[in-house]
A and B are shown apart, each in its own frame.
Chain A
């Protein structure tokens, strides 16, 4: 044991609630520009709004945002909802999807380690991927990492395709059934995500996810 005070300690002393980490992997490649990116941007605001409505989720859910358009960029590190400011998105460049997934998994792994170091309980972290295209980098290793994380219950990985997304690749990436967004229903999708995170962060059950089916006729997704 060293004699240094880990900075994180203060954060967890101030708020010792169990945490539910969720990293959003958002495709911001050039093809997302226009209505897609602006709807996505509003969707982030909806997510923050919906989660803030819940006094406990506000202290328990931690959001991080990683974009991949041209390069993989971490726009927002893990922060609890009450301190989360949706970052501004810009659409540009290719689709380094594989790199983004690897980064996302690594982020949640590291975050979990920080929780454990500080004696903070946590729910299974979520990695939520959103893409509208074709990976422009190798993604097979990322797919293996996802499979590994899911079997070890290290993370729950969700993949959502928009427009011309390569559904085939998403199917190979994700253990769970990937979903196709209906039209531009980003807000409905983030509302669903918020409701799911809220219910996860309340139940205390990290093993089983009983989520509202987003592919119901009134849902935001289709298979």
Chain B
């Protein structure tokens, strides 16, 4: 849309910054420091005259526009009809009610303490003072028309509704809000009765009260609960109310001069001037000091206990929550924790390898002698054999002899039989026959070979287990070292999302409902709203494509609007991850790493135990082998003595 300045130069209007009952406020394209208010209905002659007067007046007193968006230039349509005016554009559109409402303030200005709120009040007084100096009366004082910057400076908008008197000329305000209207004006028709500075002073006192006393309207505690009635009857009872309700700031905490100013404003009809407020509030702010526990708790000097701490304790609500200051990460690389584990691992000697089998002392020698003996000829049983032969002959001879000489023959045969029996007895006395002896020795040798095999098998088993455990430890070590990187990745991701979060937060402030977008009628916006598309942040193609009845051109128009809004916002400062978020990441990864390290310690323990177990088992087998060798040796010796050396 194009409008024109007084000298006919075209002024192009950009996106809508805000909308009021009378018209829309646009960004001025080409000069983004300016905004243009364009009325819905053409302004009356009276209104045009007022704006003309205001623009002229500004040339004489530029400071009029210091704390408000005073009209700087009239705007016309192509028929030379006035359609609005240009003014300073406010960059930060943070209405004052977002600052005095405690919970809202904690979100939008998390680091603001009580001193900040007192400063905002002082600045409000400055704003009124500048206007009152030139007999300009705000008239319609209310919480929607005052905007607060992050540095506590304030600006008024809706300046075309100011009440202005200049000699004969009078331009009224005609509207007002009950909350900021003094008792004598309650129920009065604002179009009929002109406003006075006194009325503005009441409004200023209400604003200062809300800022200092945690968003409470001074008259909100009235018995009727009705503001109009409470103000009209001057039913002001904050001090008593604060005694009854422990979540309220005790009245005594407010400095006596400021307290006196409030009492005068609300009960005595001696409303302090803006200048007096500046003086008292500035002095009060200067005396505020942080409490010992919480730097955000600002307390008047000389007060014994911190009222904010007290309220937190007795009422359970923190009016000022601890701003999370810079986060100092305690994060360290895992090197110091890994070093002792590495050393311990290094000190653990792997168990013997199967190839390292060394026969127990004496075992092989015993086997060798045994084998040598077994390979020799089977030793003959000479004595027995001779005895049997001799016995047989004698017995035969005895039987033959008995034919001739029976008595002697019987004796000789008996002797022969005896010899035979003796030979049997001799053989029997040797208990084990030779083949049995050799079998036993073979068996003993086999058992010894079995010991060897078992040793090797055990060595193999322990070696595998050792290898497995060492591989597992190496794997864990890699994981422990990897946590560092993982943590960094997570932080990077968070920071990345924060940038887009900041943009998203910005886009969310641009309501679809308030925007004028070509091709998008109100009903369409409503249809969008029902499907959750409410602000510029919700506009993306896939979401829009899913909404029935939306023409392609409309989707394009919406996306274009989002783009232009984004362009306005780029440079919107990213907040960066909060200390709490960073702390949570650190804690998470620390926990994860601690678990891994604990697992490593566990694995090391198993490795150590398994090594000891292996050593014990191997030694046991060696001992068995040794004993078996000795036994074999003894047997071989005995056999030799018994069978061979005879």
Residue numbers of A with Cβ under 8 A of B are: 1, 5, 9-10, 12-18, 42, 45-46, 49, 52-53, 55-56, 59, 112, 115-116, 118-123, 187, 202-207
**In the complex the two chains form, is A203's CB within 8 Å of B177's CB?**
yes
B192 CB-CB contact with A under 8 Å = no
For chain B, residues 189 to 233, give those with C-beta under 8 angstroms from any C-beta of chain A: 214-217, 219-223, 225-228, 230
Distance between Cα atoms of A150 and B168 in the complex (Å): 47
**In the complex the two chains form, is B225's CB within 8 Å of A49's CB?**
no
Distance between Cα atoms of A52 and B512 in the complex (Å): 12
Taking A17-B101, A121-B230, A206-B226 as contacts, is the C-beta distance between A187 and B220 under 8 angstroms? no
Q: Enumerate chain A residues within 8 angstroms of B226, measured Cβ to Cβ.
A: 121-123, 206
Q: Enumerate chain B residues within 8 angstroms of A13, measured Cβ to Cβ.
A: 102, 214, 247-248, 311, 315, 317, 319
Please tell me which one of the listed residues A5, A55, A123 contacts residue B95 in the complex, with CB atoms under 8 A apart. Answer: A55
**In the complex the two chains form, is B144's CB within 8 Å of A56's CB?**
yes
Distance between Cα atoms of A202 and B175 in the complex (Å): 12
List the 7 shortest-distance A-B pairs measured between CB atoms, nearest first: A204-B178, A119-B221, A14-B103, A121-B220, A13-B247, A13-B317, A9-B247
B213 to chain A, nearest CB (A): 9
Please tell me which one of the listed residues A1, A18, A49 contacts residue B217 in the complex, with CB atoms under 8 A apart. Answer: A18
Please tell me which one of the listed residues A14, A52, A53, A119 contacts residue B102 in the complex, with CB atoms under 8 A apart. Answer: A14
Q: Enumerate chain A residues within 8 angstroms of B95, measured Cβ to Cβ.
A: 55
**In the complex the two chains form, is B215's CB within 8 Å of A9's CB?**
no
B448 to chain A, nearest CB (A): 84
A-B contact pairs, 20 of them (CB 8 A): A5-B246, A5-B314, A9-B316, A13-B311, A13-B319, A14-B101, A17-B101, A42-B530, A45-B529, A46-B526, A55-B97, A59-B97, A116-B223, A118-B245, A121-B227, A121-B230, A122-B226, A206-B226, A206-B228, A207-B228
- Chain A: CB-nearest residue to B249: A13
Tell me the dominant secondary structure on chain B's binding face: loop
B285 CB-CB contact with A under 8 Å = no
B115 CB-CB contact with A under 8 Å = no
B309 to chain A, nearest CB (A): 15
Please tell me which one of the listed residues A5, A10, A112 contacts residue B225 in the complex, with CB atoms under 8 A apart. Answer: A112
Please tell me which one of the listed residues B223, B228, B241 contacts residue A204 in the complex, with CB atoms under 8 A apart. Answer: B228
Q: Enumerate chain A residues within 8 angstroms of B316, measured Cβ to Cβ.
A: 5, 9-10
List 13 additional contacts besides A9-B315, A13-B315, A59-B104; criterion CB under 8 Å: A9-B246, A9-B316, A10-B317, A17-B101, A53-B513, A55-B95, A115-B225, A119-B221, A120-B220, A121-B217, A204-B178, A204-B228, A207-B228
Q: Enumerate chain B residues within 8 angstroms of A112, measured Cβ to Cβ.
A: 225
Q: Enumerate chain B residues within 8 angstroms of A17, measured Cβ to Cβ.
A: 97, 101, 215
- Chain B: CB-nearest residue to A49: B529
B205 to chain A, nearest CB (A): 16
**In the complex the two chains form, is B245's CB within 8 Å of A120's CB?**
no
Q: Enumerate chain B residues within 8 angstroms of A119, measured Cβ to Cβ.
A: 216, 220-221, 241, 244-245, 248
**In the complex the two chains form, is A16's CB within 8 Å of B215's CB?**
yes
Please tell me which one of the listed residues A5, A45, A121 contacts residue B530 in the complex, with CB atoms under 8 A apart. Answer: A45
- Chain B: CB-nearest residue to A118: B245
For chain B, residues 235 to 255, give those with C-beta under 8 angstroms from any C-beta of chain A: 241, 244-248
**In the complex the two chains form, is A202's CB within 8 Å of B177's CB?**
yes
Distance between Cα atoms of A45 and B530 in the complex (Å): 6
Distance between Cα atoms of A219 and B339 in the complex (Å): 80
B98 CB-CB contact with A under 8 Å = yes
Taking A42-B530, A49-B529, A49-B534 as contacts, is the C-beta distance between A16 and B514 under 8 angstroms? no
Q: Enumerate chain A residues within 8 angstroms of B586, measured Cβ to Cβ.
A: none
A91 to chain B, nearest CB (A): 20
**In the complex the two chains form, is A18's CB within 8 Å of B244's CB?**
no
**In the complex the two chains form, is B225's CB within 8 Å of A14's CB?**
no
**In the complex the two chains form, is A5's CB within 8 Å of B315's CB?**
yes
Q: Mark B81-109, 1 if CB is under 8 A from A, else 0.
A: 00000000000000101100111100000
B101 to chain A, nearest CB (A): 6
Distance between Cα atoms of A52 and B486 in the complex (Å): 41
B32 to chain A, nearest CB (A): 24
Please tell me which one of the listed residues B181, B220, B245, B317 contacts residue A18 in the complex, with CB atoms under 8 A apart. Answer: B220
B263 to chain A, nearest CB (A): 18
**In the complex the two chains form, is B529's CB within 8 Å of A55's CB?**
no
B364 CB-CB contact with A under 8 Å = no
